[in-house]
Structures are given as structure tokens and as C-alpha cells.
């Protein structure tokens, strides 16, 4: 029977060495879990790309072609394209600008309106002089992205893909006002 006046804690079935070993294993597992999940503050791949991308005016004036993606973190198609976009950026960073603009960021509202973004992902394609040469609507596979990128870098016509086409100049569209849908309106 335990003595109520005895200040010593009840004995543990584990010895001191076993408790220290368990604490070390728990700490190692916690560190491994944090490392596997990308650190303490993991960012979405799209957000990482967006943080590394140039500002749009700089990209359009630095003498390299540009691939601009309008995206959102919650967009499944955008997220599915992220690994291919990262590969494009990594493989061609010295010959191509990859710029990501999040449609949920009010900072990009003028660009959303200017490029008539009404669905995502939407790619705007620019030649090395900063002139718009085309647009791509919808998700793109890695081979499709690579074909678009190669055409931009080589200065050749864009490949014939569903949802890809040339765009008219902004002056041509000034005659009739465009009705804009919100790019965040689809589910």
C-alpha cells in the first residue's frame, strides 16, 4: 500500500534508458515527418513558382519569350500542371520567362481584365519582343507544354492543340466591349 506522505512518484515500468530512447525515436520521427512534408511552412508548387517568377513588365521587356499562367491554388487543373510547369521553368530558365499570376490576388486584376481571363488555367504566350502570340485555355500535359515552349523559344508558329490559338491585337477588340466572367466562377 502506498504511503500518502511519500513524495516519490509511482515507479514506471520503463527504466530511464528506455524513456530516453523512446523520446529520441519520437523526436526523429517528428523531424522526418516535417522534412517529408516540405518543412514547417510548405508552399504549394504553384506558389513557389509564382514567388520565383519575374514581374510581368520585366518579363515582357527582357528579350526572352514569356509563358504567363493565370492560376489559383484551389484549381485542380492548375495543380495537376504544376510539376510540368516547374520542369519547364527549371529546364528553360535561361531562355524563357515563366510568370505565374494568381487570380485570387487583387494585385493582378488589371492583368486579368486586360487578358480577358475567364477560366483557369489560362496561358498567355509572348514572343521575345513582348508581343502576344497566342493563348492556351485549360490544362496542358508536359508534352503539350514543351511543344508550346519550343515554339516560343524558336519563334515558330504555335502547335495545333485544342484550346490554343493566336490572339488578335487589343486594338482590334476595342470596337465591342467584352463581357467578362469571373475566372473564379467555375467549381
Q: Give how far Cα 176 sits from Cα of 171, 172, 179, Å.
A: 11, 9, 9
99 tagged catalytic: no
75 tagged catalytic: yes
Closest CA to 44 of 33, 55, 54, 52: 52
Instruction: Give the active site residue among 46, 68, 75, 82.
Output: 75
Instruction: Give the active site residue among 46, 72, 78, 117.
Output: 78
Q: Give how far Cα 107 sits from Cα of 34, 55, 72, 102, Å.
A: 32, 12, 14, 9
Cell numbers for 39, please give them: 518543412
> Which of the residues are catalytic?
75, 78
Amino acid at each position: 500500500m502506498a504511503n500518502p506522505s511519500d513524495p516519490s512518484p509511482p515507479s514506471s515500468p520503463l527504466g530511464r534508458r528506455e524513456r530516453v530512447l523512446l523520446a529520441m525515436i519520437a523526436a526523429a520521427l517528428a523531424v522526418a515527418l516535417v522534412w517529408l512534408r516540405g518543412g514547417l511552412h510548405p508552399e504549394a508548387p504553384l506558389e513557389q513558382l509564382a514567388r520565383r517568377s519575374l514581374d510581368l513588365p520585366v518579363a515582357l521587356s527582357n528579350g526572352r519569350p514569356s509563358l504567363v499562367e493565370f492560376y489559383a491554388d484551389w484549381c485542380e487543373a492548375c495543380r495537376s500542371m504544376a510539376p510540368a510547369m516547374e520542369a519547364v521553368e527549371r529546364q528553360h530558365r535561361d531562355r524563357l520567362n515563366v510568370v505565374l499570376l494568381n487570380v485570387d490576388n487583387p494585385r493582378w486584376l488589371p492583368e486579368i481584365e486586360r487578358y480577358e481571363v475567364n477560366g483557369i488555367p489560362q496561358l498567355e504566350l509572348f514572343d521575345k519582343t513582348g508581343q502576344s502570340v497566342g493563348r492556351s485555355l485549360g490544362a496542358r500535359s508536359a508534352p503539350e507544354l514543351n511543344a508550346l515552349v519550343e515554339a516560343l523559344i524558336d519563334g515558330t508558329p504555335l502547335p495545333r492543340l485544342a484550346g490554343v490559338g493566336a490572339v488578335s491585337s487589343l486594338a482590334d477588340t476595342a470596337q465591342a466591349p467584352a463581357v467578362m466572367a469571373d475566372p473564379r466562377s467555375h467549381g
